[in-house]
Amino acid sequence: MFALLLVPVYLSAQESRVNDFFEKYSDNDNYTSVEVQKGLFELFATIDSDDENFDEFKKAVEGIDRLRLVSFSIKNGDLAEKEKFYNDIETSIPLDKYDELMVIKKPDAKITFYSKGGGRNIRELLMVVNGDTDVILLSITGNIDLKHLAKLGSSMNIKGLDYLDEIGGN
C-alpha cells in the first residue's frame, strides 16, 4: 500500500527534472525555446476548415496539453557548448525511465524518441536530436496519439519539429 502512495511522487519528480531543465535554458539568449500551452491547441480545434491537411493537424493536437522545445545551434555558440548541452540532457533527464520508441541515425544527426505510457496513445513524448550543428530537446505532454503526431511536425513552422515527421516514416 505504501509503495502505491509513492508512485505519484516518483512520477512528479521525473516531470520536475524535465521542467527544471527547460527552466534552466529557456531564458538563455544562446538557446531557442518554444512553449505552447493547451489553450492554443484548443483554439485550433474550434476552427472550421475544408482543408484536409488542417483537419489532420487538428487531430494531431487534439490531446496535447503542452509542447516545449529548447535547442542550441553552433551558430549561437561553439561546438563545446553544443556538446555540454547534449551531455546535460543525458545527465539531467532520467531517460532510462522512459521507453525508447525509436532511434534514427542520419549522416548529420541522431534522433531518439522516448515515451511514457503505452500503446498508440502516450502521456509524454521526448525527442532528443544530437546533430552536427544542433541539439534539440522536445517534450510533448497530454494524451498523444502517435498515429497523427507526425503531421504536427510538418504543420507547425518551428525549427526542430520537422523531426517529428520521422515518426511517420517520412
Q: What is the pLDDT of residue 168?
A: 59
Check pLDDT > 50 for residue 129.
yes
Per the structure, how many domains does the chain have? Answer: 1
* Structural domain range at position 140: 2-168
Instruction: Extract long-range pairs of 138-143: CB within 8 Å, 24+ residues apart.
Output: 138/67, 138/68, 138/69, 138/163, 138/164, 139/18, 139/22, 139/66, 139/67, 139/68, 139/69, 140/64, 140/66, 140/67, 140/68, 141/64, 141/65, 141/66, 142/38, 142/63, 142/64, 142/65, 142/66, 143/63
Give the pLDDT band (50/70/90) at residue 11: very low
Write the pLDDT tens digit of every residue in 52-82: 777 777 777 888 899 999 999 998 778 999 9
Give dist(CA 131, CA 86) in Å, integer: 10
Residue of 3 and 109 predicted with greater confidence: 109
Give dist(CA 131, CA 137) in Å, integer: 12
Q: What is the pLDDT of residue 19?
A: 92
Beta bridge partners of 130: 110, 135
Give the pLDDT band (50/70/90) at residue 48: confident
What mean pLDDT, rounded, does the chain reach? 82
Per-residue pLDDT, averaged over 97-108, amounts to: 92
